Every structure is written in structure tokens, then in C-alpha cells.
Chains A and B, each alone.
Chain A
Amino acid sequence: MSTAASYLSAVKAADARARARGETPVATPALSFSSSVTTSSEDTILDDGEVVSSDALSYPTIPPTSEQVFSTVHTEFGHCANAEYRYTSQHPAGTPVKPHIEQDPPYYVLFTTYVSYIILILFGHVRDFTRKYFNPGEFKHLIPHDGYAPITSDFDSFYTRRLKARIDDCFSYPVTGVAGRTIVLNERKSKDYNRTFYSTGRKVRALNISSYNYLGFAQARGGCADAVEESIRRYGVSACGTRLEGGSLDLHAQAEALVARFIGQEDALICSMGFATNSTIIPALVGKGCLVVSDELNHASIRFGVRLSGANVRMFKHNDMNALEDLLKEAISQGQPKTHRPWKKILIIVEGLFSMEGTMTNLPVLLELKKKYKFYLFIDEAHSVGALGPHGRGVADYFGVDPRSIDILMGTFTKSFGAAGGYISGSKAVVDRIRVRSHSHAYAEAMTPPVLTQIIASMASIMGVAPALPTHGSTGTITKGRIVEQESPEPYPGRAPASILPSWMDLPPAMREGTEGRDRLRRLAFNSRYLSRALEKLGFIVYGHDDSPIVPLLIFNPGKMALFHRLMLQSNTPIVIVVVAYPATPLVTSRVRFCVSAAHTKADIDVVLKACDWIGDVLDLKHAPGERWSLEKITSNAVELVRMESQKHA
């Protein structure tokens, strides 16, 4: 591992060579971080004095050669020049989708898990009982007082108080700075067993394999951030008002046109919050007399929206297409409950990539079923858009399916695009209907200009812009809030027509050409596959699809969750992880959920693997059957491992 000093001297040498070639750093803020220009490479290493940071996080293991130019800050977006560490996220054409088989742990693990929960619950009740007698003040807010019922009863809050509170140090960790490849923790400690936390004042940089930063667009430097800065100067930070009542900006129309082009649908609309995209728009699509068929593991926002809509709901077993078909047969033949009238319409809602499982929806089979059963299909691509497919366009792209064969594609900008909010795309008729009927369009604040700009810039850089160099001021005319394009656009999945981008937006060449975006997609695909397969080879039980950037590692025992979290945080290179347990998952299958990013380098994944390997031995987590590889074998054969034919689902 290189030290800071040796790294910096290498960087200085590279700089000197670049200067000798006569390239001078350009001062324009919009260009100074573009990839084609050698900037002072010291810019790519942040010097944050007060933050405790290990060298492995601040400096790349291999210093750059004079040919390699990195424009990103290494702590935000890792430097990785090895073209071998790239892959394409794509379903092999012509092969059926293999069903995902969840591996079961040995019985003693299940047994001890149940016993742990029983012990936890018993202890909780004993403590509740004794505390109520000896320290009633602590329960004041949980028992009726002065004629008021408590906000939560002691029974309802039992799980939170007696189980979750024990591992509260794993949740809601306060952070600062960019949630990129690394993240800075504002260190906290507790003196009273997690009831209260105090800040130690120390700032610790940790490897971040938890944020939904799939394509690594969480950056404070670079083309997107430059565009956002420009937009703040031009537009301010607020759109002031709802979309229908004067809060519509030209940027909204531009972003919506771009989203429709990106997804490959006729039209799209944007909502200022991801959760609200589902919760306020599903009621605009279905109502009384309609049936919603929903995957049992769908996100809370979908359930919220369906409940508001007043439609009937039926759930089917997670990703089980046979169960779905049986349910459809029953629903259509029986009709509405009691009256037996035919359903007005049936809407199937699934997620493209499930956020807790890492499983992918079986799109080809769904589309087959759709032909026969004539339902409408709504896919929530919150996690899959940007993260899957050779062009980053989501599950449709991954399976090589025409996106227009899916009625509604919904997604969020929080994850892959490093922004906020969500979108809905579909045919023009559907989207227009949503515009006049959805709750958020009429009553919720419109999306703010900086967020819109981040979306436009990041999306355009994934797509590439055509023609590459537009003449300034050739913006498509906006008529009644819609963009009318001047030239005929490239077919899906083509580049973004320059005419629909804001004329003032100046993206660096690597982003305009789409090379940077492609690189991000291919790095993410490699990292996802590498982590998931390597963990399996180490012997862990891993759920989900190989190509999923969400990699859940099963822990089972509740006690091991917190320990896993703490050990990762205390390892040589601190790593922050997310642990999820009941009620987000079934009781026994507590897990760690890694969210891989394009910002990670292969060395970062190795760091994670090394830590997991050790902790896995300590905590006895390696229960998967099948061939095992040693850590050395895995890290030195990463490329082979990633390119291997899939065996897991056979």
C-alpha cells in the first residue's frame, strides 16, 4: 500500500510531465474538472485536516502514470484505470430467467436465531416489569396520564424499546460531506445503552458501501456539480409553488422531456419526492372497482398509494410467477368480491430491483402473462434505473425489452442520479391523465431547480449528447410547457438531443460524449458482480441477482447484526454498512445490505471482502454450500470470477 507521501510525489511528477507537454489548467469553473484536461491532480485528493482518514481511503493504491488522468476526487469517486475491471450489465439474450433460489442456513442457525429472539423478548418483559415498579418515571410517556392516552402504548413500542434500541448505534448515524465512495461520520457514542448519544467531535472517514449512490453521481466536484452551481446562480433554489399553480419552470419541461427519452417512453412527469411519486400517483391510476396485484415485498410507498386509491389489493409470493398466474386466473374468473362484476382494470405493481432482496423482477415472463391476462404493468424502478442494463435504462434495458411494452415505468432520482424526487413515464395519454389527476401535481411543491439540473446533467452524461457540440441558443421551443424538438431524435436507447437541454448548460466533453457515463455503468456492473460472487465464494449466504448492485449478506442471528456493524466500523479501514432486520425483512433473515457503487474501485471491494472474510469466521457466518475460494484466490482472479458463467441459479 502506498503512503501519502509517495502518492503525492508521483502526482507531482505526473503534473510536471503534463505541464511539460504544454497543457495548462483551465480556469473556467465549468471546465476545470473535465476529464480531458489535466488539472492539478492535487485537486483530486481532498485535504481535510480535521477528518481522521486512513491512507487507503484518501489515496489510490496505485499512483497514476502520466497517461492516466483522473478528474474526480478520489474520496468521492475512486480512481480506477484498469480497463479489465469493467463489465456489461445485461441479460444473456435467448436464455430463460432462472428463478432465484434462497439458500437455507443449517438448522442450528435457525434454532439459535429463534432462541435469541425468545431470550430478547423474555428479558425485555422482565425489564419492563421491574422498571415499572422501580423506575416508573421512565414509563410516564407510555401509560395514560391526566386523562390522555399515551402516544404509543408500552405494548406497541416494546419492539422498538427492547429490541431495536439495543442496536440503535447501527442506525441514523450522523454524517457530513458527500455520500460518495467514502463518507465522513460525525463520531458518536452512548453512555446509557443507546438511549441518548453524544458527539465525540471526531470526524472519521469511512468506506461507504451503504448509500444508494449506484453510479457515483454523489459528487461535490465535476460536471454535474458545476452545472448545478450555474443553475443556482440563474434560478435560485426554489420553484415556489405547485406545478399547476405557477411553479412550473422551463427546467421541468426540459427534465421531463429528457426523462421520457432516457426511459424510452412517450412522455414523463416529475414529482418532487420519491416516496410521493408512488403515494400520490397510484391513486390517479386506479380506484374503486379496480384490482391491484402487488408483490408481497413491494415498498411502503406503493402500499401507501394503493391504500389511498381505494382499489382492491391482492398480494402474491415474492417474484413467484406461477403464484401470480394462479391469482390472476382466480381474480379474473371470480370478478369483484360478492358482486362478481368484472374488474374495471387490473394493475400489477412490482419493483424492478427489490431493495431488500437484490432480486430482479422476471420481466420476460411478466410480459408473456400480460399478453394473456390483459393487465396493466407498473414497474417501480427506484433501484434499477441507471443501475441496470447496458445503457443504464433499467430492467427493460437489462432484458432487452421494448420499454413501451410496459405501461408505466416509475423511478427515483435519489439513487443512481444523485439527486432527489421521482418520475413516472408512460404513454402521453396516461401521463397527461396523471398530470390532471395526481395529488402532487396539484397540491405539492414543484421540484427545485438545483435538483432538476442535477437530473438533467447526470442523465445527459449517461446518454451522451447528440449532436456533440450544439450551437448555443438552439434550444427547442417550449410551447405550453412542452418541448417541441427541432431535429429527429435518435431511436431508443440513443443519445440525448442537445436541443432539449438547457442552452446554458455546459458539460465537459467526456460527459457530452457519454464516455464517462458508459464507464460508470461498466464499473458498477463489474463491482456488483464481483462483490456478490466473491462473497459467495467466501462461503456467505448471499441473496439476490448477480448483477444487482444491492448485495444482501445473510446474518440470521439478531445479536450478530450489531457486532458485524461495529466490527466493520472498527476495522483498519473503517467501513459503514447497513444492517436490516425485522420488520423490514422476515424475522429470521436479518441481513447486511451492501450497496455497490461505480465510485468504488476494485481495491475497495477487496477491502470489504477482507473485512467480511475475517468477521465471517469470527461470527460463524459462512454457511453456503458449494466450492470455496481463499481470499487471495478471489482477489487475484477477480476478472475471471466476474466473467464466469452463472452457476448460482442453475
Chain B
Amino acid sequence: MSSAMASTSANLEPLFSFLSTSYATLEQTFNRIPGSAVIARYVKSSHQNDPGRTLLELFLAAFAIWTLLQSRTRADKDDRHFIKFTEKEIDELVNEWTPEPLAEPLSPEEQKELESVPVIVGAQGPRPKLNTGKTVLNFTGTNFTGLAGNEGIKEKAIETLRKYGLGSCGPPGFYGTVDVHVQLEHDIADFLGTEDAILYAQGYSTISSVIPAFAKRGDIIVADRGVNFAIQKGIQISRSTVRWFDHNDLKSLEDVLQGIAKERKKKKAPLTKMFIVTEGIFEKDGVMTDLPKLIELKYKYKYRLILDESISFGSVGRTGRGLTELFNVPASQVDMLVGSVANGLASCGGFCAGSKYVVYHQRINSSAFVFSASMPPLLSVSASEGVNILRNTPSILSTLQENIRTVRGILDKLDCITIPSHPASAMIHIYIRTPTPTLQIPTGSGKPSNPTSIHPRDPPTFDIETEERLLQDVVDEALAQGVLITRARRLRGQEMVEARPSIRLAVSAAFSKKECEKAANVVKAALVKVLGKRR
């Protein structure tokens, strides 16, 4: 027993000597630190004067460390909602848990919906061939200017391919800024008359990244109730305070702006960034914003304007510059002018035009720009060539407007439908006219809607399922007659406000007047046939 003790202490001998030497070195090092004597003296004297104080200081130090460590552990565990389980209970809970399937298989209706998507075999354009073998007049493609299939653009694209390859293989920050991108940015800025522009690789992702690049938590966004899905998502990501105004109602906008100003004055709220977010021509229904009035309001209430011209850029104005050209407003007055290269210039991607600083800010802070590869150079050159063609060929836009007039001239007379779209909009939406006109009559007292909610006070009522079914019948009927049109596809259940079901015609400058007449008459006949049966 005692020998065991002795051997243990012998074993521990090196440990003891190690401890004593390390203590000595520690003391030495401590003494060597400049100012250590002061600390030692302070601790000694404070302990002499009042041993309780040493204890208190130690306690305080321990508390400080504890608090520091506390913030690093997760808050949940100390949450009063946290339940402590034993290992066994956890295992049981894990075994019991059955997740929902990752995705429900499609219902027959959804399957049908998916199968009703037309597939084009070969080149996209005004007269493509479908997988059924049928050649149709295509009123679905966003080929407003008819640049798709342009031989000059194809040649340029091939030339670029042979010099640059296809992919850019990198984000703009890391050797993905190719000279042709810089050129297109310059071309667009020059075309619109802004200081600078920035390119994104996808049209849809442009605005949903531009909004959160500027609007942050605590900032104020005033947005139209009818904005498209991409804007809704951008606003959601931004986490800003949102106020809504009635769809395309600038009177309502002014009321909301006044309300905010009043509220802020009362609260003495600090100055924050304030934005008006709306569309030039609305993707949902083709309605056009009164830009001059909007600009006036923006200056009056000191807001910045984020304008989505994804539909209007390349489809209105003398040469397709969009709303700013149509209303003769300098584009520099729109703070962030967002457009789609994919729609307007029949290529791919999107852009945001604005002042030098607005663009520079996005180059560092806009996630869809920073974290994405830049667009393939040949598509960028195609778009540059598109700008060039639009600039030099005003007849494209006059043909387009002429075609729109032709189509509208035939469809406007029809009494089974309503067309909300602006007469100049190349995107024509067709609603079924409801038998009882509940749509327009305000049932309430005419009070303004609540600006904190996206839902208007008197929402229009419509039966989505029936209307979609009827409209699909119209689409099928038109297709049988050789005209390809489509329902506006919506993510039902994901949009903040359900859009009214509509048929969406996209008119192109590539059609002849005859073709437009033919197509409009086919659509008209299909509408009459399907909707006439209903009554």
C-alpha cells in the first residue's frame, strides 16, 4: 500500500517540478511585462484594504466572461420554450417523426396544365413550328421588336463566338467583365440617356436584386398593388417598411405619400431612404403608368423612383426607349430604371440604368450581379446590335404600334371581354367580362384602402378556376386555327394578390398587317365561340 503511495509520488515528481518551474517562469514573465508591478501592487493593496472587494472584483470578472460567452451560445436553449429531453426521449422523437413528402405528385389538373405548354421545334420567331408539326402565328413570344432571328444579329453572334467562346466562366469581379459587357452597358446607358448602366445575367432576377441592394430594413418602399412577382420578391428580401397604393392610381399614391409624411413628422422619424416602386407597363395587365405625374410626385415628396420597364423597354416610344421616350421625360430623372434585355432586345439578361453612383453601388452590393457569372459574350453583342438596329430603324416601332392598333381594333369591339391594357401596350391582356359587373362598382363607402396591406378595400371578385378553364379553351381553339396564344401563367397561391386570369397576346413588329388581322380574327372567333357557349 505504502509502496504504491511512494511510487505514485515518485511518478508525480516530474509533474510537481514542472508545476513549480512553470510557476516561476510565469512569475518572471509577468514581472517582465511593463507596468505589471503597478497591477501587482494594486491587487495587493486592494486585497489588504478589503478582502471582500477582491471577491467582488473576481465575481465581476467572472460575470463579464460568462456574459461574453453567453452571447455566443444559442439563445434557444435558455428560451423558456426549450424542453429538456433525455437521449432516449430524443431517439424516440426522432424515430416517431415522419416528414411530409418533399413534393406532392402533380394532381391531374396540374399535369394537364403542364402538358398544355406549347413546345416549339426549331427557331423561335413569328411563324415557328410546334412539336405537333403545325406551323403557327406566334403571339406568345416576347419578341416585340422582331429581332429574334435577325440575320445581322446571328452573324455578329457567330463572329463573337469565334473570338470569345460561349461562357464567360466567371462572375464580373473575377475576370468575368468582358469588354463586350462594358460595351453593352455603355450602349444601353447611351441609348436611354443615363450616366451608366449595369448588366444582369437574367431579366427576372434583375429587379428582385436591385430593390434589396438599395432598400434595407427601416427604409420605406411605396409600391403599386399590381406589381409583378419579381418586384414582390425584391420587396420581401429588402425587409423594408412597405406601403401600397391602388393599382395605377396616382391619386392614391399621393394620399399614401402624404400619409407617410404626416406620420413621420408626428413621430419625428429620422431621415431614411424612401422609394417608389412601380412598373412602366404592368406585366400583370398591360396598364401604363403616367410617368410625368409620377416624376412630379417623386420630386415633391423626395422619393427615389425604381421603375421596372421590363415590358415597356423595346416596345413603346419612337425607337423603343420605353416610357421615358414616350412621355419625353429625361431618363436620368428615373433613379433606377430597370429593363429586360431578354424582352426588349431579344437576347437574355436585364439591366439597371441610373447615375454613376447608383450603378457603382450595385456592382458591390447587388447579389444577383456579384454572385452570378456574367452573361455569355455573344448574347451581349447580340443585344448591342439590337440597340443599334432600334436606334437606326424607327420603322420597327411604328410597325409594332401599327400592329397593336390592328389587333386592338378588332378585339376592342368584342363585348364578351374587357381589355385592361393600354392601347400602346404590346402585351395585350384579355379578361372575360363578368356577367354581373361587380368589378368596377365600389361597394364600400369610397374610403381609401389601408396602405399597410397589399389588398385593396374592395377587391374585385372572380372565379379563377372557371375563368382559367374557359380561357384555356380559347387558347386551344385559337391553336386549332393556327394562332399560338397563351394564358398568362401565374403561380397561384404564391402571388401576394391573385391576378385575374387573362389571355396574354404579345404583338410583334415581325408580323404583317394581314397576319395581325388574321390572328385577331381567329382569337375573336375563338372567344365568341367559347364564351358564347357559356351563356
Q: A: which residues have CB within 8 A of B? A: 76, 141, 144, 146-152, 160, 164, 171-180, 183, 186, 208, 210-213, 217-221, 224-225, 228-229, 232-250, 252-253, 272-276, 279-280, 283, 285, 299-301, 304, 307-308, 328-329, 332-334, 337-338, 340, 342-347, 372-376, 407-408, 412-415, 417-420, 426, 429-430, 432-437, 439-440, 442-445, 447-451, 454, 478-481, 576, 578
Contacts and interface: CB of A to CB of B under 8 A. Distances in A.
A228 B167 CA distance: 11
A164 B114 CA distance: 48
A218 to B, nearest CB: 5
Given A246-B484, A249-B119, A299 B271 contact: no
B201 interface: yes
B312 interface: no
Contacts of A285: 102-103
B322 interface: no
Nearest to A433: B103
B347 interface: yes
A450 B157 contact: yes
Interface of B: 76, 81-83, 85, 89-90, 93-94, 97-106, 110-111, 113-115, 117-125, 131, 138, 140-143, 147-150, 153-154, 157-158, 161-170, 172-180, 182, 201-205, 208, 214, 228-230, 233, 236-237, 271-274, 302, 304, 340, 342-343, 346-348, 357-358, 361, 363-365, 367-368, 370-373, 375-376, 378-379, 382, 484, 486, 488-491, 494, 504, 506
B233 A439 contact: yes
B90 A274 contact: no
A244 B117 CA distance: 6
A144 B165 CA distance: 46
Given A172-B172, A344-B99, A241 B177 contact: no
B205 A240 contact: no
Given A238-B347, A246-B118, 13 more contacts: A178-B164, A211-B175, A236-B125, A236-B149, A236-B154, A240-B346, A241-B141, A245-B504, A443-B491, A444-B202, A480-B119, A480-B131, A481-B115
Contacts of B271: 144, 147, 149
27 contacts: A149-B273, A152-B361, A174-B179, A178-B164, A211-B175, A229-B162, A241-B141, A247-B142, A248-B119, A249-B122, A253-B119, A276-B205, A300-B370, A304-B237, A307-B237, A308-B236, A340-B81, A419-B167, A420-B167, A429-B104, A429-B106, A433-B104, A442-B489, A445-B142, A445-B348, A450-B161, A451-B167
B124 A236 contact: yes
Contacts of B382: 237-238
A171 B204 CA distance: 26
Given A276-B204, A299-B371, A429-B105, A177 B302 contact: no
Contact of A240 (B118, B148, B167, B173): B148
Contacts of B180: 176
B114 A436 contact: yes
Contact of A373 (B83, B94, B102): B94
A186 B181 CA distance: 13
Contacts of A141: 357
A345 B170 contact: no
A299 B114 CA distance: 31
A432 B113 CA distance: 11
Contacts of A375: 99
A478 B90 contact: no
A276 B363 contact: no
B15 to A, nearest CB: 27
Contacts of B233: 308, 439
Contacts of A245: 140, 486, 488-489, 504
B201 A179 contact: no
A445 B202 contact: yes
Nearest to A477: B131
Nearest to A481: B119
Nearest to B205: A276
A219 B113 CA distance: 40
8 smallest CB-CB distances across A and B, nearest first, come from A246-B140, A444-B204, A433-B103, A240-B141, A273-B202, A275-B372, A445-B342, A414-B373
B82 to A, nearest CB: 7
Contact of A342 (B76, B97, B105, B115): B97
A220 B89 contact: no
